[in-house]
Amino acid sequence: MKTRQKQILLLALSGLTFSCSNLEESVYSSIFTTNFYKTASDAEAGIKSAAGSLINLYGFPLVAVSDFAADQAYPRAVVGRNTITLFTYDPYFTAQRNSGRHETEGPQGVWRFSYKGIENANWVIEKVPAIQMDAQRRTEILAEAYALRGLYHWTLTKTFNEVPVKTKASTSETESLVGKSSRADIYKQIYGDLDQAIAGLPSYSASLVKGRPSKEAIQGLYAKVALYNEDWAKSLQLAQAVINSGKYSLMPNVLDVFDVDKEDAARVENMWAVEADRVTPSRWLTVMGIAGPRNSSGIDYAKVSYGSWFAYQAFFTSFDTKDKRRQLLDTTYRDVANKTVTQKDITPITPKGVLIRKYRDPNSIGEANNCNFPIIRLADVYLVAAEAEARQNGATATAYGYVNTIRKRAGLGDLTPGLSKDAFIAAILQERSWELFAEADRWFDLTRTNTFLTVIPKAVNDVYPTRSPQAKHRYYPIPLEEIQANPKLTQNAGWE
């Protein structure tokens, strides 16, 4: 048996995969689900396992893939992180591998954890319908599995472009080896999964269990998926359905969305999030420690932090000084001695360090924290609606209304009236950058609009004075060991 792509049969209860070497091996044993998926508790364990990849994905691989490559923030040059910023990585992701971070801080983690989640979702979809249990809960579990499978496939395609679509649980080595699907077929499958999810999920209410998606949350995700697919009419229709449902609303103060002590209240905007838990093993996210000050010195940030992820000074300066979202960045901090650390001393790598304040938990336990990570939130849906409307109909009053709702919450005036269609769309993309920074979003905005080749070379500083992406960097190379393990896979253009 070869590596990852052939590591196929997962224990749904634990969410663990087998580890196999890169050498050819004979298969002497297999895992069967004959005695599993018999009871309601098995179904609950199965969907928990399918959702388990979220904490791994958003724990850091997806952030590294998006935010280290974009124009808002950059990493300290340790454990191979700078190769993503400088576009010097290779299909083997050698620097990350040599640092032991190839699955926790890069594209290989996106590949591995997405397919692990897909595999577990497939088992749920195949096995749960036969379980004798509460019918409504069974429907919800299946709908959530479809939602997760759709999300994981979308994550893969926006990262790697054409990828294998997996819709059947792997019961043999042969079944696990699947070739790439076309972009059209990938989106067709994602659409189908999200349709199934919407049909079975409950509408949002305050009693919805934390971490479970609602019908409206998946409509919002679907709207964004359709935007990436340049399906403007569907994107607008779904975004408007969410906005007009009245089930969700923007937090009056944008700072409260990222206040760890207000996360329960913030679910009215944070529609679907990766739920971190500082007291449960393996249920916390790395982003807090990476974004906080070095040497665990920022008492308002975390008990343990490394000072490894900063915002560009130019990005900080791009905010209007009246913009409340600017307060989610900082050029000073309070240290453990209650003294103010000035900007020149934030980090030794530059006198212009800017801290990211979106993920802070001063009551964290060691490295464990309670900071949730958004998958889709209502502010994003408003901006999706604005862009989809403009792509179809130009800079209409409707499109202005959506973006101005977000600007008003940020403490800003209305967007400049009378913009051309192209100028309005550019303004929306900029608004997305200010609203959604450090949320694993920006790089994908730049690649879906194919603007990264002009934007990224300008996003430099004294740490990274030159950045030169090429056309091939629009999508990451498929990890080399996956190509080696699966003869049906081909490498992305430019990475052969």
pLDDT tens string 440-470: 999 999 999 999 999 999 999 999 999 999 9
104 vs 287: CA distance, rounded Å: 12
Confidence band, pLDDT 50/70/90 cuts, at residue 34: low
Six-digit token string for 208: 């919805």
75 vs 57: CA distance, rounded Å: 18
Six-digit token string for 216: 């409206």
Confidence band, pLDDT 50/70/90 cuts, at residue 18: very low
What's the pTM?
0.93
Backbone dihedral angles phi then psi of residue 441, each to the nearest 5 degrees: -125, -40
Q: Which residue has the tokens 């994550």?
A: 155
Six-digit token string for 134: 């509460």
pLDDT score, position 278 = 81
* 3-state SS assignment for residue 236: helix
* 3-state SS assignment for residue 6: helix
> Which positions ≥6 away from 453 have C-beta within 8 Å?
469, 470, 471
**What single letter denotes the amino acid at residue 224?**
K
Q: Which residue has the tokens 């607008």?
A: 236
Handedness of CA 20, 26, 28, 30 (dihedral sign): positive
Q: What percent of the chain has pLDDT over 70?
A: 93
**What single letter denotes the amino acid at residue 147?**
A
Q: Which residue has the tokens 């209304």?
A: 401
Mean of the per-residue pLDDT values of the chain: 91
**Which of 101-105, 329-333, 417-421 is least confident?**
101-105
Give the mean pLDDT of 229-245.
98
> Is 80 exceeded by the pLDDT of residue 93?
yes
Based on the number of CB atoms within 10 Å of its own CB, is 458 exposed (0-12), middle (13-18) or buried (19 or more)?
Answer: exposed
pLDDT score, position 284 = 74
Q: Give per-residue pLDDT as tens, 35-56.
A: 789 999 999 999 999 999 999 9
351 vs 345: CA distance, rounded Å: 7
Q: Which residue, 75, 106, 108, is CA-closest to 350?
A: 75
pLDDT score, position 31 = 44
The shares of helix, strand and coil residues in the chain, as percent rounded to the nearest 5, are 50, 5, 45
> Is 70 exceeded by the pLDDT of residue 22?
no
Q: Which residue has the tokens 């699907």?
A: 181
CA distances (Å), 196 to each of 190, 199, 218, 376, in order? Answer: 10, 5, 10, 18
Strands 333-334 and 272-274: unpaired
The DSSP code sequence of 139-186 is HHHHHHHHHHHHHHHHHHHHHHSS-----S---SHHHH------HHHH
Rg of the chain in Å (alpha carbons): 22
Torsion on CA atoms 450, 453, 454, 456, rounded to nearest 10: 110
Give the mean pLDDT of 178-201.
97
Q: Could you tell me which residue, 19 or 94, shows the higher pLDDT? A: 94
> Which positions ≥6 away from 144 have C-beta within 8 Å?
47, 50, 51, 197, 201, 212, 213
> Is 80 exceeded by the pLDDT of residue 19?
no
pLDDT score, position 6 = 38
pLDDT score, position 29 = 34
Confidence band, pLDDT 50/70/90 cuts, at residue 281: low
Give the mean pLDDT of 71-90.
95
> Is 60 exceeded by the pLDDT of residue 202?
yes
Six-digit token string for 86: 């400088």
Six-digit token string for 315: 């990005």
Six-digit token string for 252: 């009056």
| The total number of residues written for the chain in this structure | 496
pLDDT score, position 8 = 36
489 and 161 Cβ atoms separated by less than 8 Å: no
